[in-house]
Chains A and B, each alone.
Chain A
Amino acid sequence: MSNLPLLTLLTLIPLAGGVLVAFGSGPKLARFLALVTTLLSLAVAVLLWATFDTTGIGMQFVERHAWAPSLGIEYHLGIDGLGLLMVMLTAIVIPFALAAPGKEQQNPKLYFSLILLLEAGLFGTFTALNFVHWFIFWELSLIPAFFLIKVWGGSQRTRAAYQFFVYTMVGSVTMLLAFLAIYAATGSFDFAQLADMARSGKLSSALFSSVGGTLFKTENGLITAVFFGVFLGFAVKVPLIPFHTWLPSAYAEAPTGTSMILTGVMSKMGVYGFLRILLPIFPAQVRALQTPLLWLAVITIVFSAAAAFAQKDLKRVVAYSSINHLGYCLLGMFAAVQLTDATAAWTNEKAAALNGVMLQMFNHGLTASALFYFVGLLEDRGGCRGLNDFGGLRKVAPVFCGLMGITVFASVGLPGLNGFVGEFLIFKGTFALAPWSAAISVLGLLFTAIFFLTLLQRVFSGPLPARWISWQDMTLAQRLTVVPVIALIFVLGIYPRLLIDVVNPTVLQMVKQF
Chain B
Amino acid sequence: MMAWTIYISFLGAAALLFLPEDKPALARVTALAAALAGLALGLGGLIGYEQTASAGALVDIVKCNWVPDLGIHYHLAADGISITLVLLTGIAAVAGVLFSWNIDMRAKEFFALYLALIGGVYGVFLSFDLFQLFVFYEMAIIPKYFLIAIWGSTRREYGAMKLALYSFGGSALVLIGLIAAYIVSGLHTFELVDLAKFPFPPAFQNWAFLLVFIGFAVLAGLWPFHTWAPTGHVAAPTGASMLLAGVVMKLGAYGALRVAMTLFPIGLHTWRNEIALLAVIGIVYGALVALVQRDFKFVIGYSSVSHMGFVLLGMMTLTQIGLSGAVLQMFSHGIIAGLLFAVVGRMIYDRTHTRDLEELQPLNLHKTAFFTCLVFVVGGAASMGLPGFSGFMAELQVLVGAWQAFPLFAILAGAGILVGVAYTLRALLKGFYAADNTKPVVPPLPLPPITLPERAGAVLLITATLVVGLWPKVLLDLIIPAFQSPLMAPIWKGGVS
Q: In this complex, which of B321, B408, B480 has the most chain A Cβ atoms within 10 angstroms of its Cβ?
A: B321
Question: In the assembled complex, which residues on chain B have CB atoms less than 8 Å from the CB atom of A339?
Answer: none
User: Does A384 have its Cβ within 8 Å of any Cβ on chain B?
Assistant: no
Question: Which one of A68, A71, A157, A184 lies within 8 Å of B436 (CB-CB)?
Answer: A157
Q: Which of A326-367 contact B (CB under 8 A)?
A: none
Given A139-B387, A180-B396: A170 and B418 interface contact (C-beta under 8 Å)? yes
Given A135-B387, A156-B436, A183-B400: A177 and B414 interface contact (C-beta under 8 Å)? yes
Question: In the assembled complex, which residues on chain A have CB atoms less than 8 Å from the CB atom of B324?
Answer: 70
- B298 smallest CB distance to A (angstroms): 21
User: Does A211 have its Cβ within 8 Å of any Cβ on chain B?
Assistant: yes
User: Does B410 have its Cβ within 8 Å of any Cβ on chain A?
Assistant: yes
Q: 1/0 per position for B383-396, CB-CB distance to A under 8 A?
A: 00011100001001
User: Does A136 have its Cβ within 8 Å of any Cβ on chain B?
Assistant: yes
Contacting pair B435 A158 (CB below 8 A): yes
Question: In the assembled complex, which residues on chain A have CB atoms less than 8 Å from the CB atom of B477?
Answer: 70
User: Does A166 have its Cβ within 8 Å of any Cβ on chain B?
Assistant: yes
In Å, the complex CA distance between A183 and B321 comes to 11
Q: In this complex, which of B324, B421, B435 has the most chain A Cβ atoms within 10 angstroms of its Cβ?
A: B421
Contacting pair B476 A71 (CB below 8 A): yes
The closest CB in chain A to the CB of B435 belongs to A158
- Number of B residues contacting the other chain (C-beta, 8 Å)? 38
User: Does B460 have its Cβ within 8 Å of any Cβ on chain A?
Assistant: no
In Å, the complex CA distance between A215 and B477 comes to 33
Question: In the assembled complex, which residues on chain B have CB atoms less than 8 Å from the CB atom of A428?
Answer: none
Question: In the assembled complex, which residues on chain B have CB atoms less than 8 Å from the CB atom of A29?
Answer: none
Q: Which of A143-174 contact B (CB under 8 A)?
A: 143, 147, 150-151, 155-159, 162, 165-166, 169-170, 173-174
Question: In the assembled complex, which residues on chain A have CB atoms less than 8 Å from the CB atom of B259?
Answer: none
The closest CB in chain A to the CB of B408 belongs to A215
Question: In the assembled complex, which residues on chain A have CB atoms less than 8 Å from the CB atom of B381?
Answer: 143
Q: 1/0 per position for B457-497, CB-CB distance to A under 8 A?
A: 00000000000000111001100100000000000000000
Question: In the assembled complex, which residues on chain B have CB atoms less than 8 Å from the CB atom of A150?
Answer: 429, 433
Given A143-B386, A177-B410: A70 and B421 interface contact (C-beta under 8 Å)? no
Question: In the assembled complex, which residues on chain B have CB atoms less than 8 Å from the CB atom of A177?
Answer: 399, 410-411, 414
Given A174-B414, A180-B396: A211 and B404 interface contact (C-beta under 8 Å)? yes
Contacting pair A140 B388 (CB below 8 A): yes
User: Does B407 have its Cβ within 8 Å of any Cβ on chain A?
Assistant: yes
Q: 1/0 per position for A173-193, CB-CB distance to B under 8 A?
A: 110110011011100000000
The closest CB in chain A to the CB of B397 belongs to A71
In Å, the complex CA distance between A170 and B414 comes to 10
User: Does A2 have its Cβ within 8 Å of any Cβ on chain B?
Assistant: no
User: Does A51 have its Cβ within 8 Å of any Cβ on chain B?
Assistant: no
Contacting pair A176 B414 (CB below 8 A): yes
Contacting pair B407 A180 (CB below 8 A): no
Contacting pair B407 A181 (CB below 8 A): yes
Question: In the assembled complex, which residues on chain A have CB atoms less than 8 Å from the CB atom of B417?
Answer: 173
- Number of A residues contacting the other chain (C-beta, 8 Å)? 40
Contacting pair B387 A215 (CB below 8 A): no
Question: In the assembled complex, which residues on chain A have CB atoms less than 8 Å from the CB atom of B396?
Answer: 71, 132, 176, 180
Contacting pair B476 A169 (CB below 8 A): no
Contacting pair B403 A180 (CB below 8 A): yes
User: Does B52 have its Cβ within 8 Å of any Cβ on chain A?
Assistant: no
User: Does B425 have its Cβ within 8 Å of any Cβ on chain A?
Assistant: yes
User: Does A210 have its Cβ within 8 Å of any Cβ on chain B?
Assistant: yes
Q: 1/0 per position for B27-40, CB-CB distance to A under 8 A?
A: 00000000000000
In Å, the complex CA distance between A181 and B399 comes to 8
User: Does B51 have its Cβ within 8 Å of any Cβ on chain A?
Assistant: no
Given A173-B417, A214-B408, A215-B407: A139 and B399 interface contact (C-beta under 8 Å)? no
The closest CB in chain A to the CB of B407 belongs to A215
Contacting pair B407 A211 (CB below 8 A): yes
In Å, the complex CA distance between A505 and B473 comes to 38
User: Does B54 have its Cβ within 8 Å of any Cβ on chain A?
Assistant: no
The closest CB in chain B to the CB of A142 belongs to B386
In Å, the complex CA distance between A236 and B408 comes to 24
User: Does B422 have its Cβ within 8 Å of any Cβ on chain A?
Assistant: yes
Question: In the assembled complex, which residues on chain B have CB atoms less than 8 Å from the CB atom of A156?
Answer: 436
- B453 smallest CB distance to A (angstroms): 20
- A185 smallest CB distance to B (angstroms): 8
Question: In the assembled complex, which residues on chain A have CB atoms less than 8 Å from the CB atom of B472?
Answer: 68, 71, 73
The closest CB in chain B to the CB of A147 belongs to B377
- A133 smallest CB distance to B (angstroms): 9
Contacting pair B404 A210 (CB below 8 A): yes
- A18 smallest CB distance to B (angstroms): 14
Contacting pair B387 A136 (CB below 8 A): yes
Q: Which of B327-382 contact A (CB under 8 A)?
A: 366, 377, 381
Question: In the assembled complex, which residues on chain B have CB atoms less than 8 Å from the CB atom of A184?
Answer: 321, 400-401, 403-404
In Å, the complex CA distance between A180 and B392 comes to 12
Question: In the assembled complex, which residues on chain B have CB atoms less than 8 Å from the CB atom of A135?
Answer: 387
The closest CB in chain B to the CB of A110 belongs to B370
In Å, the complex CA distance between A165 and B397 comes to 24
Q: What are 14 A-B contacts defined by CB distance under 8 Å?
A: A70-B477, A71-B472, A139-B388, A143-B377, A150-B433, A158-B436, A165-B425, A166-B421, A169-B418, A176-B414, A177-B410, A180-B403, A210-B403, A210-B404
- 10 nearest CB pairs, A to B: A184-B403, A136-B387, A177-B414, A184-B400, A215-B407, A180-B399, A169-B421, A181-B403, A184-B404, A68-B472
List the interface of chain B (C-beta within 8 A of A): 321, 324, 366, 377, 381, 386-388, 393, 396-397, 399-401, 403-404, 406-408, 410-411, 414, 417-418, 421-422, 425, 429, 433, 435-437, 471-473, 476-477, 480
User: Beyond A143-B381, A155-B437, A158-B433: 8 further Cβ-contacts under 8 Å?
Assistant: A70-B324, A70-B473, A70-B477, A142-B386, A158-B436, A177-B399, A177-B410, A181-B410
